[in-house]
Chains A and B, each alone.
Chain A
């Protein structure tokens, strides 16, 4: 009943007041709805458009008080043919806008991304053109939702939905028993990766270790006794996205350690499960090799001879 009332009121008011007033001015002008100069678009793409383009008004792009924000044509182009055909109403649907965004668009990636980069080339996107994403023709809108108040790439609890669209290996690894808490929403891919940059593996820092140190700075050292692979690259022993072995180790101990440390001493037999307490050394159980080599990331002990050099103290 309320709806009927509303419609009747609207019809009455529009016929009684609006129409004649606009007619007196000699035109039926539709005002801008959201953005500067958007009338040429929003006269069709208004609130009844199922794609809800007006939601852009909720975003930073829709903040008109910021003079830098774009108009529709800043991104989509003047699109004269599209407008002409829409006005004529003879071709349905009308031809597309000059610039169409998305992976399946016929507009090439350079043009699409150029629209975004005309404002967003600075900051962490300076090296976008030499990034792996750019050179595989990934477009900004492959990941970002522009006409949405909720861009999943900027929400650490939902960002993986976007990244997993392409990165299946990482999705599998993050489901393994030992993993960084990304699926739990405690971390985001972008905590470690700058996907707009050209660092190795598109990391946020210049190297793997510098990236890891942002959270694990106790491993930075230097130590009196450095463990060479630790100082070189955390990724030699750890697989950051996830592994079957605890602590993100690529392989279980002793196999991992014996990839470098063989030939004397410990591998006197094949690893086997111990059966009872009291045989706490040289065993794969517990913490494995680091049962004894406690400070495997580096030791600062000056105790005599072996404790430091073998990372047992």
Chain B
């Protein structure tokens, strides 16, 4: 930058040079050390890069989403195209990532800015299970599978994976300067096999391994008009979606028996929506939203015609699923006086399932089985005010309220003995939750900014409707009474121009109000048979309390124009206390068979460190280290258990080094080195002695093996050309 009254600017020089000696100008462009010209600075640039890389080692955990699980060579092909015709404002754009790998994506666009445009995109994402399976299962991933018993380890090795391939096309056209038409279409193909399993009666009701066949097409399309005026804006249109499952029913043959596992029906939805806003004044604005969605799942029920299956008495053959969802919302934001801004909104959201309530089976007395259409109607509102205090402080106070009405189809014996013998979990018809918020912040200081945020919320609801598998009180944690207190502290401090620091602390406490009242104890005891013990404690079953905490510190230090380092460390912790029990029915009496209180704790510690710089004009380097350790603890406080659940510790380490050397002003050579390490003692797929998990060896013999220590190294070299 220079003073305005300089006579001979770089621009003038460049113009002069271009006019008199174009070859001279060209020579200047080709010189790496020259300052970029106006044209170079203002012309969209493009680049292509290609190279080769090699992975060595094991990376089943890190490779879940790129499909590279062990040694392998990959092509490194990327492109970023941005070409503009300045005269017409016509753009040709393109972006290609990982073209030589399984997680490739690409998008291309052609548009005349402010007039019309079209675009296409493709995105492919694999998802691999981070373990190996050895099994006798035949037909994995298909709708017809056959389970063959094998000696553990003597079956075929299988890697379970799915793959998403999404193709999209979009277009827009300005019909007037204010009115824009947009349309897009997405087609997602998902294919593969996912870990499943089921309880096989022919195997003595033991669990056996099968795979979930994944072969489906999901389509989404939308057409809308966007009006953007000075004061009034409106979006309105139609969006549709369709899920087509190419597999209707999974059959598993096991010896002479065949079992059937149901799969999701095809479904589709059509939505009409309007979203608008009007600015009454520069600081007062009203908004509204309306949408209506009609979703259906209408087809023959495959199990109804499956050979050899024992159907429920009176089971339907056709399904007429229907769910209608309505959303209405209005909102207002205003600044009635200069230092006060307010926000209010009211929202109505109703999910109304109109599927008929089908009889599936006649069962034990009072326990017929029906289908379970569910409705949710939620009305929520928010009122918030912010007052700006002197010295750049602001205080925000707000209240949020949510009122939900939930409809569950009543069972066939809802009134006789006060419990619904078709439902397994008690439910409530009404839930209410109110949250009070208060925040103090300082937000426009050049050295220190921050906020303190306090919240308290209370949730309660109507009386519980009792259910058959809960012969006493249980608090399902999504509908239980709950008090939640939250405190958040954020501090952003920049003591010098070179050093910036951020500190964040968040903690919340949940109390699920779990103690019995005297009346509830009496009512509960009345449900037990004569001589039955009351629970050992007076706690409701389910979650008792919980908490979460996060402490995080970030730092950024700029040494000079060339070098910068940064780092962060976070530690988070979640805790929960859960109380469960088991009641058995014997001789007409309900007896307490078992009760426990578990304390659960998850902790995570993450560290990130990085430095980047330019040792020379031509060389840029960067180094990043990420280290994360997570731990799960399970304390059941039960000395009778021989092999209690051990803690689970997992550590992920990733070191990334890269160097870019500018060969010319328009080309670079890039070297990437990555080292990844994963260690975990997760027992999910292990027996107590640490050996691999084996499904029932008498009837299945499938073995699942994970690699607890994975190390992988990547070396890549690529060339990039910019134009």
Contacts and interface: CB of A to CB of B under 8 A. Distances in A.
Interface string B185-208: 000100000011111000001111
Interface string A7-20: 10111011001110
A152 to B, nearest CB: 14
A55 interface: yes
A217 B264 CA distance: 9
Q: Lowest 8 A-B CB distances belong to which pairs? A: A57-B42, A122-B228, A65-B89, A280-B207, A302-B315, A13-B16, A10-B13, A49-B1
Interface in A23-76: 28, 30, 33-34, 43-52, 54-60, 62-68
A267 B582 contact: yes
Interface stretch (B69-77, B367-375, B456-464, B666-674): B367-375
A294 B197 contact: yes
Given A177-B61, A299-B262, A300-B302, 19 more contacts: A10-B16, A11-B13, A34-B42, A48-B1, A51-B1, A177-B650, A207-B349, A223-B264, A229-B476, A251-B576, A261-B424, A264-B471, A270-B640, A273-B688, A281-B207, A285-B685, A300-B303, A301-B303, A313-B260
Contacts of B427: 228
* Residue of B66, B88, B198, B694 with most partner-chain A CB within 10 A: B198
A223 B320 CA distance: 10
A128 to B, nearest CB: 9
A17 B321 contact: no
B413 interface: no
A246 interface: yes
Given A232-B376, A259-B578, A47 B38 contact: yes
A172 B10 contact: no
Interface in A81-135: 86-87, 89, 103-106, 108-110, 114, 121-123, 126-127, 129-130, 135
A222 B361 CA distance: 19
Given A13-B17, A169-B506, A295-B262, A222 B323 contact: yes
A13 B125 contact: no
Nearest to B471: A263
Interface string B350-389: 0101010010110100000101111010001000101000
A85 B263 CA distance: 73
Contacts of B372: 224-226, 228
Given A122-B233, A262-B542, A292-B198, A221 B264 contact: yes
Nearest to B212: A294
B628 interface: yes
Contacts of A215: 188, 218
Nearest to B316: A302
A255 to B, nearest CB: 6
Contacts of A123: 180, 226, 228, 233, 235
Interface in B126-185: 152, 177, 180
Given A19-B7, A55-B42, A218 B197 contact: no
B310 to A, nearest CB: 5
B221 interface: no
Interface string B686-698: 1111000111111
Which bracket fits the contact residues of B? Answer: 35 or more
Interface residues of A, number: 154
The A interface, classified by DSSP as helix, strand, loop or mixed, is: loop
Contact of B641 (A218, A245, A270): A270
A46 B11 contact: yes
B698 A278 contact: yes
B289 to A, nearest CB: 8
Contacts of A290: 197
B711 interface: no
B113 interface: yes
B723 to A, nearest CB: 13
Contacts of A13: 16-17, 19-21
B43 A57 contact: yes
B552 A308 contact: no
A150 B185 CA distance: 26
Given A221-B267, A291-B207, A303-B311, A46 B10 contact: yes
A11 B233 CA distance: 54
Contact of B408 (A44, A55, A105, A228): A228
Contacts of B523: none
Contact of A292 (B199, B335, B541, B602): B199
Interface string A241-256: 0011110000110010
A82 to B, nearest CB: 11
Nearest to B61: A177
A127 B331 contact: yes
B346 to A, nearest CB: 11
B372 to A, nearest CB: 5
B449 A103 contact: yes
A260 B474 contact: yes
Contacts of A7: 13
A176 interface: yes
A93 B174 CA distance: 44
Contact of A33 (B38, B446, B494): B38
A104 to B, nearest CB: 5
Contacts of B351: 231
Contacts of B636: 270-271
A220 interface: yes
B361 A304 contact: yes
B445 A302 contact: no
Interface in B52-105: 61, 64-66, 82, 84-91, 97, 103
B470 A67 contact: no
B262 A272 contact: no
A262 B579 CA distance: 9
Contact of A300 (B41, B301, B550, B687): B301
Interface string B266-277: 010100000111
Contacts of A66: 89, 113-114
Contact of B396 (A58, A135, A236, A259): A135
Given A33-B11, A172-B570, A149 B598 contact: no
